[in-house]
A and B are shown apart, each in its own frame.
Chain A
C-alpha cells in the first residue's frame, strides 16, 4: 500500500517535472505588437548628425528634412532582428505606395568597425537600394544613440564573430526633423504605415 502510494507520488513528480521542463524549454514566441508606438507630444528636437552613407558620401540628417524619416539602429552581421526589420520597412514602403516618396528609410550601423560603406551598400541593396545605410566612427555613433536613448553593446572584443546587442525600436522623425513616434520592435508594418500617413497629413 505504502509502496503504491510512493509510486503514484513519483509518477506525479515525473509528470510535473516534465511539464515544467517543457515550458522552460519552449518560451512563448514573441509576436508582433498590435498597439501603435509611443507618440511624443510635443515632438522632441533631435540634433543634426553627419555620417557616411553606403555611397561613401557624407549625409547630414538635415538633408532629409521635408521627409518623414524612419530610423533603425542595427548592424549588417545581425542575422535575425535587423533583416526582419528591413523586410518590415519594405512592407511599410509597399503599403504607402506613392506616398513612400515622401519617406526616407534609414539604417544606422552601430558596428562602424565592420560596416564599411561597401558592406552597407551590399546589405541594404538586398532589401531596397532606395533605403539609406549610414555608418561612422564609434564616437559619432555613440553621441547619436544617446540622443535617441538607443542602447548598443559589442558583446566581445576577442571573437571576430562578435554580436552586438542593440535597441530594436524604429524612430520616426516628422518632416521638420523632430522625433515624433517610437515604434517597438516587431510592430506590424501596416500600423507603422498608418502612423506615417497620419504624420504626413499633419
Chain B
C-alpha cells in the first residue's frame, strides 16, 4: 500500500460519512413534513371521514308525530315531542382502513333515537330488539339498514315527517368520529 492510496481511502471514508449525514438530514426533513401533513389532515378529519364512510340509499318513513301540544293545568300550551315513531334505512360503506362501529344517532326531529333490529321467530312473532353493541362495519365492508332488518328507530317525533322533506341525522361511531347525513322522507 502506498501513502497516496491510504489517503484516498481515508477521503473515501470521510465522503461516506458526509453522505450519511446528508441523507439523515433529508430523512429528518421528510419526517417533519410528514408530521405537519398529518396535523393538517387531522384538522380536516371530519370531512375526510365523511368521504370515507359512504352512505347511500338513505330514506326515512313518513310518519305522524301524534299529539305534540298539550294543555297544562294553568291553561297554557306545552309544546313537546309527540309519541310518533319512524324508521330510517341506509347502506353505510366503510371505506376507511379501520373497524368502525355505529354506536348512536342524533337528530333534531326526534326526542330519542335507537338502533333496532326486527327479529321474527319460528312462530311468526315479530319483535324489535335494540342493538346495544352498535353496528360494526369492517374496513371495505358495508352495513345494510333495510326494511325487515336493522333500522334507526326514531321515537318522540317533534313534527310530522312529510314525504318530500329532508331530515338531518348525525351518526356517531365508536372511534369518536361522526358523519352528518341528509335523509329524504319517503311514503310509508
The interface of chain A, by Cβ under 8 A from chain B, is 18, 21-22, 25-26, 29-30, 77-81, 83-84, 86-87, 114, 119, 122-123, 126-127, 151, 160-161, 163, 165-169, 184-186
Q: A80 and B118 in contact (CB under 8 A), knowing A165-B126, A185-B126?
A: yes
State A29–B86 Cα separation when bound (angstroms): 20
The interface of chain B, by Cβ under 8 A from chain A, is 61-64, 66, 83-87, 112, 116, 118, 120, 123-128, 135-136, 138, 141, 143-144, 146-149, 151, 153-156, 187-188
State A42–B11 Cα separation when bound (angstroms): 108
Question: Cβ of A168 and Cβ of B124 under 8 Å apart?
Answer: yes
Question: Cβ of A29 and Cβ of B146 under 8 Å apart?
Answer: yes
Give the residue of A26, A30, A127 whose beta carbon is less than 8 angstroms from that of B188: A127
Q: A80 and B136 in contact (CB under 8 A), knowing A160-B83, A161-B155?
A: no
Give the interface SS of chain B, mostly helix, strand, loop or mixed: strand
Q: Which A-B residue pairs are the 7 nearest by beta carbons?
A: A79-B87, A168-B126, A165-B127, A81-B126, A161-B155, A83-B188, A79-B85
A-B contact pairs, 11 of them (CB 8 A): A30-B148, A30-B149, A77-B84, A80-B147, A83-B188, A151-B125, A163-B127, A163-B128, A168-B125, A185-B120, A186-B120
Give the residue of B61, B63, B124, B149 whose beta carbon is less than 8 angstroms from that of A185: B124
State A79–B154 Cα separation when bound (angstroms): 8
Chain A: CB-nearest residue to B88:
A79
Chain A: CB-nearest residue to B126:
A168
Could you list 8 further interchain pairs (A-B, Cβ under 8 angstroms) beyond the known A79-B128, A81-B128, A186-B148?
A: A29-B146, A77-B84, A79-B61, A81-B148, A86-B188, A126-B62, A126-B64, A168-B124
